[in-house]
């Protein structure tokens, strides 16, 4: 009787439970629909994969093993002595292996597998964009990292309860590990679509493994130092360092992801504009951070170092990127032409972001001049501040920076012409532009050197105007405090003339015209809400 009455009394709750569960289920499904499909698929795959099971098992057993072995080795004075660093170092290496090696490599293999198995083609005819594909892979990798971290979190907490490690060090260590894991995954994803041939794939895989192992080793060394010596910095400095590292990682990560997505994008679509915007973002972040750190460290005399480091990094990035931008195909598809800016102001500002070698050349030269100006203004500002510099340093530095910019402009114009000639009979990849730049740079340096060496009967000779095209010797002479402003001006004039030549003779490439989108296409996009 009692049992029956209990059953009757519990009926409303029993009925409500499935309803509640159904609502939760519907809510989960609704939110699940908003997730990136690649993330859903990759997670399903990863959780069932042998690699995940093995890695997760390894993580748990290694953590358990180290907890037992490490604790026993520190007994009986584990709570009296600073034993946390030793335990934390062990846990760091247990966690670093999957986060810095296994997960990035799995992300690389996953994207490479999509290309090899032909599933990328199937994905590219769905409504997923290449960005979504790449972000889905990254999100899946991050999810796996989170799972590994959560699994090891109790061990980290246990180490923190021991003596010898403070809270900021532990947080920074974990932050560094997570940020490095994400960046390495982005680097690995960037490498996946680089090569199409089997040989190329093997080289790429070896490069990725090399980068990951090197990063594992370097970050391990930094982590050990951090744990042993802690952070004896002010809170402001720590926040500054963390903020700078995060900003640089976001800018560089965005650039690498954009390039990866561009490699997966069909050639009829605009692959260049997003890369150019991303490059601008990297430039802005680097210039801002260099300026902020230079201004902050005027008193301790390291300001010039920040400005020079930021400027040199940007010049290297722009040299590399510029050589590929001027190697882009001059054919602009109607699809891209439909999206060109329309008003005069928009065209003046944004035409340089549209794909094409001529716009790429102008865009690169403008940015190189921007970086050169930043360097020169920065050094001039330091010179007028309390920072002590040798008297001739400013003049030498200005000559060097503008000399580099002038040479690069000349070389990029040459690469532009060379690539246009190559494109008459071939359809080379943009990477050929960098090879062309290297060829031009080597020839312009070696040819005058070899000719003059021959004319002087293979005896040593002094720098002369005949060596003006020899960029290596000219820049070396400038660094050796010789005034070569005349040569630099001539080279700058030649570069500017080449640029003018390109602008004048290719108006349709430099200033492409927008075309109308067919009415039916607009209607269709309107119906689909795009």
Q: Which residues bind other proteins (CB under 8 A)?
A: 29-30, 33, 37-38, 40-41, 44-45, 48-49, 113, 117-119, 121-128, 266-269, 330-335, 337-338, 508, 512-516, 518-521, 524-525, 528
Between CA 346 and CA 340 the distance in angstroms is 9
Distance CA 449, CA 476 (A): 14
Task: Work out how close the CB of 508 gets to other proteins at its nearest, in angstroms, rounded to a whole number.
Answer: 7
Distance of closest approach, residue 1 Cβ to other proteins, in angstroms:
45
Nearer to other proteins, 235 or 267 (CB): 267
* SS3 state of residue 301: coil
Closest to other proteins by CB, 163 vs 429, is 429
Q: How far is the CB of 360 from other proteins (least distance, A)?
A: 16
**Of 147 and 219, which CB lies nearer to other proteins in the complex structure?**
147
- Residue with smaller CB distance to other proteins, 228 or 338: 338
Give whichever of 120 and 440 is closer to other proteins, judged by the CB atom: 120
Q: Which is nearer to other proteins, 220 or 330 (CB)?
A: 330
| Residue 396 Cα distances to 26, 389, 392, 403, 480, angstroms | 69, 12, 6, 10, 8
Q: Which is nearer to other proteins, 337 or 373 (CB)?
A: 337
The answer to whether 95 touches 152, Cβ cutoff 8 Å, is yes
For residue 429, what is the DSSP state? -
The single-letter DSSP state of residue 267 is: T
CA 68 to CA 90: how far, in whole Å?
Answer: 12
Distances (CA, A) of 381 to 26, 294, 300: 62, 10, 16
The C-alpha atoms of residue 464 and residue 241 are separated, in whole angstroms, by 46
Judged by beta carbon, residue 266 or residue 301, the one nearer other proteins is: 266
Q: How far is the CB of 522 from other proteins (least distance, A)?
A: 10
Largest CA distance in the chain: 119
Determine contact, residues 328/357, Cβ cutoff 8 Å.
Answer: yes
Nearest distance from C-beta of residue 257 to other proteins, angstroms: 19
CA atoms within 13 A on the CB side of 37: 8
* Closest separation in Å from C-beta 429 to other proteins: 15
In whole angstroms, the minimum distance from the beta carbon of 521 to other proteins comes to: 5
Round to whole Å and give the CA distance between 221 and 231.
Answer: 15
List the structure tokens of 472. Answer: 């290596």
Closest distance between other proteins and the C-beta of residue 238, in Å? 42
Residue among 77 and 520 whose Cβ is closer to other proteins: 520
Instruction: Choose between 338 and 394: whose C-beta lies nearer to other proteins.
Output: 338
**Helix, strand counts (H, E) of the chain:** 22, 0
| Closest by Cα among 442, 486, 441, 443 to 463 | 486
Q: How far is the CB of 149 from other proteins (least distance, A)?
A: 23
8 A C-beta contact, residue 89 and residue 168: no
Residue 18 CB, nearest approach to other proteins (Å): 19
Give dist(CA 405, CA 250) in Å, integer: 27
Angle between helices 130-161 and 37-48 (to 10 degrees): 50
The 10 Å Cβ neighbour count of residue 482 is 13
Tell me the closest approach of the beta carbon of residue 337 to other proteins, in angstroms.
7
Residue (44 or 163) nearer to other proteins, CB: 44
Residue with tokens 């001006």: 489
| Tokens (6 digits) for 83 | 């034993």
Cβ proximity to other proteins: between 98 and 512 the closer is 512
Q: At closest approach, how far in Å is the CB of 118 from other proteins?
A: 4
DSSP 325-389: HTTS-S---HHHHTTS--SHHHHHHHGGGSSSHHHHHHHHHHHHHHHHHHHHHHHHHHHHTT---
Sequence-distant (≥ 6) Cβ neighbours of residue 247 within 8 angstroms: 285, 289
């Amino acid at each position: 009787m009692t049992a029956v009455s209990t059953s009757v009394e519990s009926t409303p709750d029993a009925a409500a439970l499935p309803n509640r569960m159904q609502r939760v289920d519907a809510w989960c499904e609704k939110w699940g629909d908003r997730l990136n499909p690649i993330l859903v698929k990759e997670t399903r795959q990863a959780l069932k994969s042998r690699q995940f099971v093995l890695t997760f098992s390894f993580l748990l057993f290694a953590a358990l093993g180290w907890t037992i072995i490490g604790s026993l080795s520190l007994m009986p004075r584990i709570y009296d002595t600073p034993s946390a660093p030793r335990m934390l170092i062990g846990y760091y290496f247990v966690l670093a292996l999957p986060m810095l090696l296994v997960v990035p490599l799995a992300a690389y293999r996953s994207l490479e597998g999509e290309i090899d198995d032909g599933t990328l083609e199937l994905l590219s005819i769905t409504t997923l964009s290449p960005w979504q594909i790449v972000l889905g892979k990254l999100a899946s990798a991050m999810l796996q990292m989170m799972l590994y971290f959560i699994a090891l979190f109790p061990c980290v907490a246990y180490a923190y309860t021991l003596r010898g490690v403070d809270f900021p060090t532990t947080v920074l260590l974990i932050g560094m590990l997570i940020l490095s894991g994400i960046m390495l995954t982005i680097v690995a994803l960037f490498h996946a679509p680089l090569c199409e041939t089997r040989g190329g794939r093997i080289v790429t895989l070896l490069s990725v493994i090399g980068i990951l192992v090197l990063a594992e080793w370097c970050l391990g060394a930094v982590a050990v130092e951090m744990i042993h010596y802690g952070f004896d910095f002010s809170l402001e400095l720590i926040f500054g360092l963390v903020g700078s590292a995060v900003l640089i990682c976001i800018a560089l990560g965005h650039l690498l992801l954009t390039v990866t997505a561009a490699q997966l994008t069909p050639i009829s679509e605009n692959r260049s504009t997003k890369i150019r915007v991303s490059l601008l973002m990297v430039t802005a972040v680097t210039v801002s951070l260099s300026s902020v750190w230079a201004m902050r460290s005027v008193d301790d005399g390291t300001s010039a170092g920040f400005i020079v480091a930021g400027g040199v990094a940007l010049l290297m990035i722009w040299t590399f990127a510029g050589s590929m931008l001027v190697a882009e195909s001059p054919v602009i598809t109607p699809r891209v032409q439909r999206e060109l800016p329309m008003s005069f102001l928009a065209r003046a500002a944004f035409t340089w972001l549209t794909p094409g070698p001529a716009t790429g050349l102008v865009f690169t030269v403008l940015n190189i001049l921007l970086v050169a100006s930043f360097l020169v203004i920065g050094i001039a500002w330091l010179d007028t501040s309390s920072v002590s510099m040798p008297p001739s340093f400013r003049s030498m530095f200005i000559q060097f920076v503008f000399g580099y910019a002038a040479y690069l402009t000349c070389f990029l114009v040459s690469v532009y012409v060379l690539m246009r000639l190559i494109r008459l009979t071939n359809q080379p990849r943009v990477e050929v532009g960098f090879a062309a730049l290297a060829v031009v740079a080597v020839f312009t340096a070696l040819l005058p050197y070899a000719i003059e060496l021959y004319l002087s009967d293979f005896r040593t000779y002094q720098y002369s105007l005949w060596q003006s095209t020899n960029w290596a010797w000219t820049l070396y002479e400038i660094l050796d405090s010789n005034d070569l402003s005349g040569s630099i001006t001539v080279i700058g004039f030649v570069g500017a003339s080449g640029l003018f030549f390109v602008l004048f003779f290719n108006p349709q490439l430099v200033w492409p015209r927008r075309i109308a989108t067919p009415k039916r296409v607009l209607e269709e996009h309107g119906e689909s809400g795009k």
